[in-house]
């Protein structure tokens, strides 16, 4: 497999980065495309051009390595959410739309092949360790908290008029978004993401400017 | 892996079924739990207690076999949808709720381990053949058509007042539902499915009895 180390990896990359971080970056790309079970450790070390012994200097094994990859992806995506959802030059709903646009672009730029690492590994859950489930759940909880806070801010300033609980709305959003990433891969189209974005904002959040 | 051949397999099973169907049933269970790439052909034939040669009598190879498994799962689920969504003793919205309740039970009875074969294989898409994508997409399109028709019927009889296009609503529903199955696995809880069900029906479809 050609390992094209870009987003979500590039942000974490610089010339002084450690070999450990390079391995995590490579793991992020390969696991996102192929999942955990079907990726061999050999594939990782060959892509990284290091001897296998070096891998064990940094990680206890493949499971330990994958959990670090999940945490790294979670942190990368968390920083992205923080940057977009805390942008005070935009209203909360404009920030939500900006996030969806950027995430949609992220799916399109890899020709609908990669999807979301959390979604991909989550689907493998039945055959994975309990440690994976906890790590994946931690990531999704952090993402939910951030969307929930943004929806809550929109409520506070009267940008939306919805009475439904912000936590419920955020949980609903992430189910719909992860499912739409899957459907985008199947359809090879951004349409499912657009539908989720539009219906969620216009029909569920109902910004006041649209209602009036 | 212990192969527990039950729903979605039981319906297709009977004593007179062919070896071919038995292999498909076993494949359905194992692929749903472990995905395609990490399942070996040896695992399938060992579970089926047949020599490998017999496998090749029925299928050209693992890819060909997996596509038959996808079709079988699609047909099984399609019949389930038909049975529930065409039940004329219930209103269209009651049928939608009945489907969601039954599907939620299906996820719970396997302790949130199995999820949805279509979602699981869809996540592996990047590393799978184009033939898989088409087969998975055919299944999801059939499911969408059925939910769309049910929503359309609810509109026609005035059970819901929503103006949004039924096709868009159905597409939205399946994204949200597939994502909720994933989140249910991560959380080991039916809560994500309940949230999607309630928000979709009460907030998006808005049955007239709730609005008034």
User: Which residues does chain A have within 8 Å of residue B139's beta carbon, measured at their own beta carbons?
Assistant: none
Q: Determine the pLDDT at residue B75.
A: 93
How far does the CA of residue B16 sit from the closest CA of chain A (Å)? 31
The least confident of A85-89, A118-122, B53-57, B191-195 is A118-122
How far does the CA of residue A41 sit from the closest CA of chain B (Å)? 14
Does residue A165 come out as left (phi exceeding 0), alpha (psi in the -120 to 50 range) or beta?
beta
Name the closest residue on chain A to residue B133, using Cα atoms.
A186
Q: Determine the pLDDT at residue A101.
A: 96
User: Which residues does chain B have within 8 Å of residue A35's beta carbon, measured at their own beta carbons?
Assistant: 35, 37-38, 123-124, 127
Average pLDDT for B70-87: 94
Interface confidence (ipTM) of the complex: 0.87
Does residue B49 come out as left (phi exceeding 0), alpha (psi in the -120 to 50 range) or beta?
left
User: Which residues does chain A have within 8 Å of residue B182's beta carbon, measured at their own beta carbons?
Assistant: 119, 122-123, 175, 178-179
User: Which residues does chain A have within 8 Å of residue B176's beta carbon, measured at their own beta carbons?
Assistant: 172, 175-176, 179, 196
Q: Determine the pLDDT at residue B127.
A: 62
How far apart (Å, rounded) are the C-alpha atoms in residues B152 and B163?
A: 11
Average pLDDT for A141-155: 97
Q: Please report, for residues A100, A167, B78, the alpha-carbon distance to residue A96 in angstroms, rounded to integers and kept in the order given.
A: 6, 15, 35
Chain A interface test: which of B33, B74, B109, B124 (most A C-beta within 10 Å): B124
Is B166 in the A-facing interface, judged by CB distances under 8 Å? no
HSE (side-chain half, CA atoms, 13 Å) at B86: 8
- Between A127, A176, A182, which is nearest B38 by CB? A127
Q: Determine the pLDDT at residue A111.
A: 74
Q: How confident is the model at residue B107 (pLDDT cuts 50, 70, 90)?
A: confident
HSE (side-chain half, CA atoms, 13 Å) at A18: 7
Whole-model pTM? Answer: 0.88
| Distance in Å from the first CA to the final CA of chain A | 52
Chain B interface test: which of A66, A175, A191 (most B C-beta within 10 Å): A175
pLDDT at B13 over 60: no
pLDDT 10s digits, B35-68:
888 789 999 999 999 999 999 999 999 999 999 9
Helix, strand, or coil (residue B140): helix
pLDDT at B197 over 60: yes
How far apart (Å, rounded) are the C-alpha atoms in residues B175 and B25?
A: 26
Is B136 in the A-facing interface, judged by CB distances under 8 Å? yes
Chain B interface test: which of A35, A40, A186, A194 (most B C-beta within 10 Å): A186
Is the CB of residue B113 less than 8 Å from the CB of residue A126? yes
Cross-chain Cβ contact B115/A123 below 8 Å: yes
pLDDT 10s digits, B141-175:
999 999 999 999 999 999 998 999 999 999 999 99
Q: How confident is the model at residue B12 (pLDDT cuts 50, 70, 90)?
A: very low
Q: Determine the pLDDT at residue B109.
A: 86
pLDDT 10s digits, A9-40:
444 444 435 899 999 999 998 988 878 887 89
pLDDT 10s digits, A107-147:
888 777 777 888 888 877 666 678 888 999 999 999 999 99
For residue B205, what are the contacts with CB-CB under 8 A and spacing of at least 6?
B93, B96, B151, B154, B160, B162, B169
pLDDT at A212 over 80: no
Name the closest residue on chain B to residue A126, using Cα atoms.
B113
Token pair, residue B19, equals 């070896």
């Amino acid at each position: 497999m050609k390992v094209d180390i870009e987003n979500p990896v590039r942000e974490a990359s610089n010339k002084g980065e450690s070999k450990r971080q390079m391995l995590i970056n490579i793991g992020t790309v390969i696991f996102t495309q192929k999942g955990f079970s079907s990726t061999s450790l050999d594939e990782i070390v060959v892509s990284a051009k290091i001897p296998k012994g070096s891998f064990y200097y940094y990680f206890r094994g493949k499971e330990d390595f994958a959990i670090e990859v999940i945490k790294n992806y979670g942190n990368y995506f968390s920083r992205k959410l923080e940057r977009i959802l805390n942008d005070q030059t935009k209203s909360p709903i404009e920030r939500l739309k900006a996030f969806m646009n950027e995430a949609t672009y992220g799916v399109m730029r890899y020709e609908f092949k990669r999807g979301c690492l959390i979604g991909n590994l989550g689907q493998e859950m039945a055959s994975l360790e309990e440690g994976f489930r906890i790590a994946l759940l931690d990531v999704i909880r952090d993402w939910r908290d951030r969307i929930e806070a943004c929806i809550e801010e929109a409520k506070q300033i009267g940008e939306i008029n919805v009475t439904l609980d912000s936590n419920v709305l955020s949980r609903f959003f992430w189910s719909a978004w992860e499912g739409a990433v899957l459907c985008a891969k199947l359809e090879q189209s951004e349409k499912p993401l657009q539908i989720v974005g539009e219906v969620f904002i216009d029909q569920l959040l109902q910004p006041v400017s649209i209602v009036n």
